[in-house]
Amino acid sequence: MARFYMQKGTHKGLYRSIQKTLKFFQTFALLEVVHCAVGIVRTSVLVTGVQVSSRIFMVWFITHSIKQGMKFLCTKYIPGAFQPSGMEVYYKIPSLLKKGKLLACNSSSQKIQNEESVILFLVVWTVTEITRYSFYTFSLLNHLPYFIKWARYNFFIILYPVGVAGELLTIYAALPYVKKTGMFSLRLPNKYNVSFDYYYFLIIIMLSYIPLFPQLYLHMLRQRRKVLHGEVIIEKDD
Ligand SMILES: CCCCCCCCCCCCC[C@@H](O)CC(=O)SCCNC(=O)CCNC(=O)[C@H](O)C(C)(C)COP(=O)(O)OP(=O)(O)OC[C@H]1O[C@@H](n2cnc3c(N)ncnc32)[C@H](O)[C@@H]1OP(=O)(O)O
């Protein structure tokens, strides 16, 4: 990521250059949940499950799926002209456009992957995982430098809320596109007689951060007290 930014001088296209690696490792992070479930790793399946599933959701159902749309910047009113067909307007539609008049529009391709918020959570996840896996590796080698231990149980204090902000802002940026296209949604009538609206599903996911994120954060604060300050903490069962 650093190399990309230094070479190109922009974050645009960064996601594309790292997406294969990201998808591979983030999907295989599911093994972390399996490891907790079968008892290889002594930690909560629930906490790990929420952590991993939220990231997998971000990778596959947001950044991978919401590929692109067009952003229109409309300025000048042209009397008698019509709105071109096939135009995907999912950004702010000026009030005149709604009345069916064409304005002078400049269109530009807009990818959710190029949102600054995506880069924000990618950077945060990356720093977190470099620290976390260094911690695991050195622990296994029985030579854990204090700085790594300190970083593992301190960085999250800032990184967790910043990562969550990046994730929520990305979902928020995706909402207009999801609403406009009706992607992943099922409308009635259909042969299953079931309706599903991905737009509202995303809003529910965003709201679910309110009760779930504090649980993860408090878990990490407890771990911090245990590992760095040697406090004995009795955790409730899942
Ligand atoms: C269907 C859609 C669902 C959507 C849900 C929406 C709700 C979302 C709300 C939640 C939002 C989360 C957002 C999140 O994605 C944002 C970020 O991540 S931002 C970046 C900051 N993040 C962090 O800092 C992550 C913190 N989390 C963790 O560190 C872990 O993932 C955690 C699951 C919390 C577990 O940590 P914990 O300290 O409890 O246990 P460990 O697993 O680290 O360690 C237990 C012992 O096992 C040893 N261990 C573990 N793994 C390994 C390994 N791979 N190799 C070797 N050893 C390992 C570890 O050393 C411990 O050993 P010991 O007890 O002997 O010390």
The Cα diameter of the chain in Å comes to 76
* 41 three-class SS: coil
What is the band of 171 on the pLDDT scale with cuts at 50, 70, 90? very high
Higher pLDDT, 181 or 106: 181
What share of the chain in percent tops pLDDT 90? 68
Q: Is the pLDDT of residue 94 over 60?
A: no
Best mutation site among 25, 136, 149, 226 for ligand 1, i.e. most ligand atoms within 8 A of its Cβ? 136
What is the band of 180 on the pLDDT scale with cuts at 50, 70, 90? confident
Tell whether pTM > 0.90.
no
Which pLDDT tens digit goes with each residue over 149-159? Answer: 999 999 999 99
- The dihedral formed by the CA atoms of 16, 71, 168 and 132, expressed in degrees to the nearest 10: 20
Check: complex ipTM more than 0.90: yes
Phi, psi dihedral angles at 75 (to 5 degrees) = -120, -50
With a Cβ cut-off of 6 Å, ligand 1 is lined by 41-43, 47-48, 50-51, 53-55, 57, 124-125, 128, 132, 136, 139-140, 156, 159-160, 163-164, 167, 205, 208-209, 212-213, 216, 219-220, 223
How is residue 52 written in tokens? Answer: 């991993």
Q: At what angle do helices 14-28 and 116-140 cross, to 10 degrees?
A: 40
H or E, element range at 164: helix 155-181
Taking the C-alpha atoms of residue 151 and residue 147, their distance in angstroms, rounded to an integer, is 6
Q: Is the pLDDT of residue 130 over 60?
A: yes
Taking the C-alpha atoms of residue 107 and residue 88, their distance in angstroms, rounded to an integer, is 10
Q: Is the pLDDT of residue 78 over 70?
A: no
160 included as an active-site residue: yes
Interval 66-76 mean pLDDT: 56
Binning the chain into helix, strand and coil, the percentages to the nearest 5 are 65, 10, 30
